């Protein structure tokens, strides 16, 4: 029989202001975003939680961890092939 541990875990979406949202023209603006947990992985004895921003596909901020605009991903893919 496998022993199970029960841990109190309460991860909720976070609504916050992002002052570095960057549109397609490179203009920075403040926007309200929602950062949500999207994936939970248990490896070894530790949990890994992956979060995603509600405006990830429309933000062009190169320094933002969450920004995932299709154009940005294509540029990164082209660079990573070399």
7 falls within a domain: no
Q: What is the pLDDT along the chain (82 residues), one digit of tens a residue?
A: 556 666 666 789 999 999 999 998 989 999 999 999 888 888 888 888 888 999 998 999 988 888 887 655 555 544 444 3
- Residue 80 phi/psi, 5-degree rounding, is -70, -20
2 falls within a domain: no
4 falls within a domain: no
5 falls within a domain: no
65 falls within a domain: yes
Split into its structural domains, the chain has a count of 1
Residues 20, 5: Cα–Cα separation, whole Å: 40
| Residue from 78, 81, 9, 3 nearest 40 by CA | 9
Cross-strand pairs, 53: 35
| Residue from 78, 59, 79 nearest 67 by CA | 59
**Residue 42: domain span:** 14-80
Residue 53 pLDDT:
93
């Amino acid at each position: 029989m496998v022993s199970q541990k029960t841990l109190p875990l309460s991860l909720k979406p976070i609504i916050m202001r992002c002052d570095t949202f960057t549109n397609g023209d490179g203009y920075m603006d403040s926007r309200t975003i929602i950062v949500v947990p999207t994936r939970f992985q248990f490896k070894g004895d530790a949990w890994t939680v992956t979060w995603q921003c509600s405006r990830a596909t429309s933000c062009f901020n190169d320094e933002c961890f969450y920004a995932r605009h299709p154009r940005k991903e294509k540029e990164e893919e082209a660079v990573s092939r070399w």
